[in-house]
A and B are shown apart, each in its own frame.
Chain A
Amino acid sequence: MLLKRIFPRKGKTTNVSDNNGKKDVPEGLMTKCVNCKTIYISKELEQNLNVCPNCDHHYQQNAWQRIESIFDEDTFEEWDKELLSTNPLGFPEYLEKIDKDREKTNLNEAVVTGKGLIDDLPVAFTVMDARFRMGSMGSVVGEKIARAVERAKDENIPFIVFTASGGARMQEGVLSLMQMAKISVALKRHSTAGNLMISVMTDPTTGGVSASFASQGDYNFAEPGALIGFAGRRIIEQTIREKLPADFQTAEFLLKHGQLDQVIHRHKMRETLSTILKIHDKNNRPPSRRQEAGGIK
């Protein structure tokens, strides 16, 4: 199982060298790890799910790399890829920037939603892509996620989200802020119907995204070393006038402070999710005690 994950199927793999995020995989044939400075062939990193083979540093994965590494082969069907951002505030150059990122990433927006199978169990899925406007959430991101959650509710299936986002998108102002509320209401409906929601926070998950659906899972996980927090480090340092420790707002920091259920290594991700899905699988189970009692809330 693990080997199958480590050596991804040919054909659909995306070239990692077109990522140009700060902490992302550098261009070129050879790569020097930003963490341990080991030099190795870039392909090797890619085949290791963007995890440094030497020090386990987790580089960002883009949306489709993530989908490839999580779902059963060729089972993922994408939803709502025709939704496009408009410019509700009339922000200069906003749509040009969106177009540029669309070209760069081949995505319509900073999130991919859809449905697939993990070890034959159906899951509604959302994965954010930090290459697209830093994964920020505007109307389209909010709408796509809310629709995915609503479909998960209608189909009575679990919802899993992988977050990677700087937070609400400034260029869409208060409409971005309100997407936090919109998704929350959708998730509440999904949850009240007795469905499972798992959140996996990846690097980075901050601001309005960490303060909404990223933290609303029945289980909240994170990848090692991921930056997770509400306010930015610089803002906090300016406010309290002291230097913050190096591990502040890392996944490990959050785990220590009781904010996460687990920090999960990427190589164990699919396996862990699969086990949790099996434990929560409603098929082949007798009616729930609540159903037996006539649906008491």
Chain B
Amino acid sequence: MNQILDFEKPIIDLRDKITELKKISTESEIDLTNEVKELEKKLNILEEDVYSNLKPWNRVQMARHQQRPTTLDYISEIFTDFIEFHGDRYYGDDEAIVSGIAFYNDEPITVIGHQRGKATKENIKRNFGMPHPEGYRKAIRHMKQAEKFDRPIVCFIDTKGAYPGKQAEERGQSEAIAYNLLEMAGLEVPIVCIVIGEGGSGGALALGVGDHIHMLENSTYSVISPEGAASILWKDPALAEKAAESMKITSYDLKEFGVIDEIIPEPKGGAHRSLEEQAKNIDKVLTASLKELNQYNVTDLLENRWLKYKRIGEFSEETL
């Protein structure tokens, strides 16, 4: 079943109408070719209009689309010989994060990412892509392995946030995230982070301290979910749409803030329209990223990483 987003409704309606006309045309021998052509032209214009004028909230909807490709989808499209490894060695295996090694352009690489499900059963198994501390600890364990064996790391970010649960707190959700930030800061191999869906706050950032950060065109990255922002600002989570507007969470906003490096284009209508095309677009940017990062020695790599984060933020500095 394909999930239809409200703003796409006119497009779907028109498409249905065209299909119907075509059917009538073949069944009843009335020539409707011109009418169909006319409508197809209209459809093109309408699609162009809708998809090139997406509002922030529409992008949130896209980022959350049920059929939107996940980390594992991209892994199977982009990498070869992927082998998944499990467990943090302390407590358990968190299936909200997948992690393993593979070849990329014939070179070894470590691949890590948040993993959500598309259907309910899978989502429950994956805890809706919201990790516990053991997920982050598994991730950093594998990142340190990547450092040991001198292979670059790519992280796919796709989470509403770290799981807000009782046991997550007991096992140190804060510490797990904080530790990842600190350790990623010093890893002596290139790290490329790609936001593929939702980049929800600290739970996203815990896989996000990289040398390059890219975002899919319709993904989001934010300090708080639009619903959370709305309930704090206006005491009403239903105003999420308005909050999405004011929080500046789209790839275009983050590019303007200088937080991300590249916006990775999506197929018309979103990543879920063509996994193959989307994977190709990611592949292109990732290849370029690694080509650039691979030429730095460790000193330059870490210095550049510091300079990248050092300049993020806006303030004024004047004598009072």
Which residues of A are interface residues toward B (Cβ below 8 A)?
A: 81-86, 88-91, 108, 138-140, 142-143, 146, 168-170, 172-182, 184-189, 191-192, 207-208, 210-216, 228-232, 235-236, 239-240, 242, 244, 248-249, 257-259
Contact = CB atoms under 8 A, between A and B. Distances in A.
Interface string B168-197: 111111110111011111100000000000
Given A212-B177, A230-B173, A230-B174, A181 B313 contact: no
Contacts of A211: 162, 173-174, 177-178, 181, 202, 206
Contacts of B27: none
Given A188-B182, A229-B174, A142 B313 contact: yes
A185 B222 contact: no
Given A108-B320, A174-B223, A230-B177, A186 B306 contact: yes
B202 A207 contact: yes
B229 A239 contact: no
A212 B222 contact: no
Interface string B307-320: 00110111111111
A175 B313 contact: yes
Contacts of B318: 82, 84
A143 B174 CA distance: 21
5 contacts: A108-B320, A143-B315, A174-B222, A174-B253, A248-B169
B205 A175 contact: no
B67 interface: no
Contacts of B163: 239
A83 B317 contact: yes
A184 B172 CA distance: 18
Contacts of A210: 174, 178
A89 B317 contact: no
Nearest to B171: A257
A236 B173 CA distance: 13
Contacts of A172: 223, 314
Of residues A139, A211, A214, which shows the largest number of chain B Cβ atoms within 10 Å of its Cβ?
A211
B313 A179 contact: yes
Contacts of B305: 185
B169 A170 contact: no
A165 B313 CA distance: 19
- State the 7 A-B residue pairs at the shortest beta-carbon distance, nearest first: A231-B164, A139-B313, A215-B178, A188-B185, A184-B181, A211-B177, A230-B173
Given A83-B317, A89-B247, A216-B182, A174 B202 contact: no
A188 B182 CA distance: 6
B162 A192 contact: no
Interface in B269-320: 302, 305-306, 309-310, 312-320
Given A173-B222, A228-B174, 20 more contacts: A88-B314, A89-B247, A142-B313, A170-B232, A173-B223, A175-B314, A178-B205, A179-B313, A181-B185, A181-B205, A182-B313, A188-B183, A215-B172, A216-B182, A230-B162, A231-B168, A231-B169, A239-B164, A242-B166, A257-B171
B313 A173 contact: no
A203 to B, nearest CB: 15
Nearest to A256: B170
Contacts of B320: 81-82, 108
B240 interface: no
A174 B248 contact: yes
A185 B232 contact: no
B186 A180 contact: no
Contact of B312 (A168, A178, A189, A214): A178
Interface in B237-263: 246-249, 253-254, 257, 259
Contacts of A184: 178, 181-182, 184-185, 209
Contacts of A88: 257, 314
Contacts of A177: 201-202, 205, 221-223
A258 B248 CA distance: 38
B87 interface: no
Contact of A139 (B209, B249, B315): B315
Contacts of B184: 184
B108 interface: no
A235 B224 CA distance: 13
Given A86-B316, A211-B174, A174 B309 contact: no
Contacts of B164: 230-232, 235-236, 239
A139 B175 contact: no
Contact of B178 (A139, A186, A216): A216
Contacts of A232: 164
B223 A168 contact: yes
A31 B5 CA distance: 57
Given A83-B317, A181-B205, A174 B221 contact: yes
B129 interface: no
A182 B309 contact: yes
Contacts of A138: 313
Of residues A83, A108, A168, A180, which shows the largest number of chain B Cβ atoms within 10 Å of its Cβ?
A180
B152 interface: no
A257 B170 contact: yes
Contacts of B186: 188-189, 191-192
A215 B174 contact: yes
B11 to A, nearest CB: 30
B223 A213 contact: no
Contacts of B232: 170
Contacts of A257: 170-172
A185 B306 contact: yes
Interface in B82-138: none
Contacts of A143: 313, 315
A173 B225 CA distance: 10
